[in-house]
Amino acid sequence: MPVSVKAGPQAKGKGKSRVLAALAALAGAALACNVQLGGTVRAPLGTPSASVVFLAPANNSVIAQGSTITLAVTAQDSGPGVAKIDILVDGVLLESVAAPVEGGQSSLTAHVDWEASGVQGHLITAEAQRADGTPLGEAGVAVTVVEVSGPDATLIAALPTQNTPEPTPTRRPPSPTPDAPANTATPAPTLTPSITPTVAGVAPTLRVTFDFLNIRAGPGTEYPQIGRMNNGETARIVGRNADRTWIVVEFGPVRGWVTSNPNFSEISGDTTNIPLVAAPAAPAATPTLQLVQPLAPTSTVGTVADLVIDRWVFTPETPNVNQTFFVTIVVRNQGALDAPASLLTGVFQPGNERSDMAVPPLRAGESVTLPPLYVTLRSAGPNQSGTLTLDVQNEVEEGPVGEANNVVTITYNVN
């Protein structure tokens, strides 16, 4: 039976070799590595099965600076048992949690409080070991700490529980469009969406009841559309804004914001502890993304789609070693036909660090600003290079000209 242990304070930091080892374990392709963000590690056939999984926070969470969140990790082992879980932030040991049973136990869950500091991306990793010191596996999540003021200054990231009653949300009047905010100019009646109770700990879901529902990069129609759900489709709910008028969903590979207006969708499941997520900065009136030079050549008119990368930007502009940064990318379909969903892959030096991002379907002539592409580099150096490659799985028919303009090379320094 799983045992939950609250870690006590311990010294932060190990040796340089341990930091390098922890970071090196997260290198490699996301589809091929043994360590997955927020995921599990599977042992080869013929060996005891083991897993390490992050319960909280969710991968790619946005956290308010100064808030305290609970990092929760569970490890299981069908062999000798789990003896210890180490939790590290940016390669530096935060705390170690030991099993209360000498020699380890089949399942161990560690809860460690972390005060979010440093307005930047962070890589949080967990390492599990058996009593003899052999590793069970590792897992990691990327988070971004942002400056937030007002009611969004506290981010709730507790594990699901039935201890806190769910207040009845107060809804604004329905909007005439499936993602516009409600009109606050006139007094608003209280609208309560239909919520079906489920087992505690099961993530709540949203089902579209309108013709469609836009997924956006932030809680408002001023943010770019990054996806779309059709009538009857469902998505997992992973966050919300302060007044619950917008919620964060995971719909396939797309993670973004949708309106919670009950005229367009219905919510099912335990909504007790949906995390409060800080909204990203509203897009500027004039884009500040760096232009890629030269721009991809224009396709000849034909019965094909043609995906190109118009703009990109690093945040921060100059990456720091062992600190997660992100790349914002604008993709456009300059072809004559609509393009289906596809996959973009970034490979960054030094170390061939790879990060993948889903590109939603794009109509002919349509552009989209993708969610942040998170990257962590393990060593510093000047004049480094990276590549952004569109349609790496050849899911879009682009013709010879379109296929030739799918790769963009980036140069940068790493401090």
pLDDT band for position 24 (cuts 50, 70, 90)? very low
Q: Would you state the torsion angle of the CA atoms of residues 168, 172, 177, 181, taken in this order, to the nearest 10 degrees?
A: -100
pLDDT value of position 88? 92
How much is the pLDDT for 371?
84
Average pLDDT over residues 107-129: 88
Domains, the chain: 3-147 (2.60.40.10), 160-168+191-283 (2.30.30.40), 290-414 (2.60.40.10)
Q: Which residue has the higher pLDDT, 116 or 300?
A: 116
Distance, CA of 105 to CA of 77 (rounded, Å): 8
Question: 129 falls in which pLDDT band (50, 70, 90)?
Answer: very high
Residue 27 above 80 pLDDT? no
What does the pLDDT read at residue 389? 95
**Bridge partners, 383 (sequence order):** none
What is the mean pLDDT of the segment spanning 108-120? 88
* C-alpha distance from residue 14 to each of 32, 131, 173, 320 (Å): 28, 19, 55, 20
When mean pLDDT is compared across 189-193, 254-258, 267-271, the lowest value belongs to 189-193
pLDDT, position 187: 36
The larger pLDDT score, comparing residue 76 to residue 151, is at 76
pTM of the shown model: 0.35
pLDDT band at 236 (very low <50, low <70, confident <90, very high): very high
